[in-house]
Amino acid sequence: MGEFKHLVIVKFKDDVVVDDVLKGMEKLVSEDVESLDVLRQGFTHAFLMTFNKKEDFAAFQGHPKHVEFSATFSAAIDKIVLLDFPALLVKAPA
């Protein structure tokens, strides 16, 4: 089936120390967070995770470290849009 994407778009609460949350996210996924250039509807951050297959995503969701971090992350969020979707290649790279 191919890769599976996990996109999280949030607007953090005004009193949240965003750097602390980002450090936790970096520990969780071991990847850098990209720039915040494009802001829409008040959202300030987007996190996109790629998994080889949906089953890998399910394992990630149930992992104790993800469950623990999710509680901290959720408490810091003002609003959220979360999309889980299969990645479809519509045109191969040149």
With 90 as the cut, is the pLDDT of residue 68 above it?
yes
Helix (H) or strand (E) holding 64: helix 64-75
Answer yes or no: are the C-beta atoms of 82 and 74 closer than 8 Å: no
What is the percent of the chain where pLDDT is above 90?
Answer: 27
Does residue 66 have a pLDDT over 90? yes
User: Residue 76 and residue 37: Cα distance in Å, rounded?
Assistant: 21
* pLDDT reported for residue 30: 61
What is the CATH T-level fold of the domain 4-35+42-86, as seen in this structure?
Alpha-Beta Plaits (3.30.70)
Q: List the domain boundaries for the chain.
A: 4-35+42-86
CB 81 within 8 A of CB 15: no
> Quick check: 77 pLDDT over 70?
yes
- Whole-model pTM: value is 0.57
Residue 35, pLDDT > 80, answer no
